[in-house]
Amino acid sequence: MTLDNDFVIPSELLPVDGRFGSGPSLVRKEAVVALAEVSETYLGTSHRQDPVRNMVGRLKEGLAQLFSLPDDWEIILGNGGSTLFWDVAAFGLIKNSSQHLVFGEFSSKFAQAVDKAPHLEVLEIIESEPGDAPSLKPSDVDTYALTQNETSTGVSIPLERPSGIPASNALVLVDATSAAGGMMWNPAEVDCYYFAPQKCFGSDGGLWIAICSPAAVSRIEKISSSDRWVPAGLDINTALGNSRKNQTYNTPALSTIFLTVHQVEWMNNNGGLGWAAGRSNNSSSHIYNWAEHHAHAEPFVSKAEIRSPVVATIDLADSINADDVVDICRKNGILDISGYRKLGRNQLRIATFPAIEIEDIRLLTKSLDYVIGRLL
């Protein structure tokens, strides 16, 4: 790059809030202000007493409403985020054998965690190239592992049980870390829908939340009564017992729980999951449409039906260096739009989670037009 990259994007083109990262992601100011307001009655108080336990209760009720959960489902939470939950699942949800759809970094990490577990026997991996998506093959495994939205590539897949396999034969586990709250799903097709709240739920990291069907709960109880050794901190049956009492096994981040509740209630008060998913859909459609009509950009995911509504990945033409675009944007307050490192493409990756305003997405593409125009 020989040009001077220290130019300024005109202020009328700049988004009001410059946070477009795919996680951690934009935390709404209203939520942070509300947290400050309860700082003396909630923060710094015991997680075994009512103020915090009631907040965990609100989290569970709010999520049950948001996802229209059947009455007999349970919501379990614990510390460590989604990555830790992969180990939790390997210990407490997979009986012996699992099939994994692998189509990017996150889905591959769960398969790797399972591969190394000495107590599990069969691992089936169905893989596709980054930017595409594989589908399940009915088999005799006891667990199927899907990722609703592969955050590393911006590919999302429909959630469906493998055909002819009921929940009584095999569980469907869904990593919904970047999808939950921004995409629709049908509980009839899933047994365990898990996520961490630093993406669509505009909170902080460190917590995992697993929404479990009766079949998943019964699997948890069965494995727990077997002679499998499970480290206490990874024991989902222990987490289940605590969650039923609106607690966690060990101390959670109280601010993370509060911010998540605030975001869930914000979604519910405005029309629920359809409303939240609609916001993401409008924002991502704008970006894909922009890229399709741009001479120097195009959506990375060529099949429109698997393009993510919550994380848009955009390839740039060779004549534009994405690192320069990302760098100039950052200097102008537009943050975290680089492609996933390991993918190694000349790419931008832009979160379109529900908290991000569509008007800011429109301004973002105007800013990108300006930056690309200057770099050409």
Q: What 3-state DSSP class applies to 156?
A: strand
> Which residue of 25, 147, 283, 284 would you call a contact of ligand PLP, by CB under 6 A?
147
Q: Is the Cβ of residue 178 or residue 248 nearer to ligand PLP in the bound state? A: 178
User: CB under 8 Å to 127, separation ≥6 — which residues?
Assistant: 101, 102, 103, 134
Task: Report yes or no: 351 and 341 within 8 Å, Cβ to Cβ.
Answer: no
Our CA dihedral for 80, 81, 86, 90, rounded to 10 degrees, sits at 40
- Tell me the backbone φ, ψ of residue 61, rounded to 5 degrees: -65, -45
Site for ligand PLP in 148-177 (CB under 6 A): 151, 175, 177
**Is residue 67 a contact point for ligand PLP (CB under 6 A)?**
no
Here's the x/- map for ligand PLP, 7-46, by CB under 6 A: it reads as: ----------------x-----------------------
CB-nearest residue to ligand PLP: 81
Rounded CA separation 132/127 (Å): 9
Q: Cβ-count burial of 376 within 10 angstroms (0-12 exposed, 13-18 middle, 19+ buried)?
A: exposed
Q: Is the Cβ of residue 24 or residue 138 nearer to ligand PLP in the bound state? A: 24
Q: Give CA 199 to chain center in angstroms.
A: 5
Q: From the CB of 296, what's the least distance to ligand PLP, in Å?
A: 28
Here's the x/- map for ligand PLP, 189-218, by CB under 6 A: it reads as: -------x--------x-------------
Task: Report yes or no: 162 and 143 within 8 Å, Cβ to Cβ.
Answer: no
**Is residue 81 a contact point for ligand PLP (CB under 6 A)?**
yes
Q: Tell me which residue has tokens 């229209």.
A: 68
Total residues at interface with ligand PLP (CB under 6 A): 12
**Is residue 347 a contact point for ligand PLP (CB under 6 A)?**
no
Contact residues toward ligand PLP (CB under 6 A) are 23, 81-83, 106, 147, 151, 175, 177-178, 196, 205
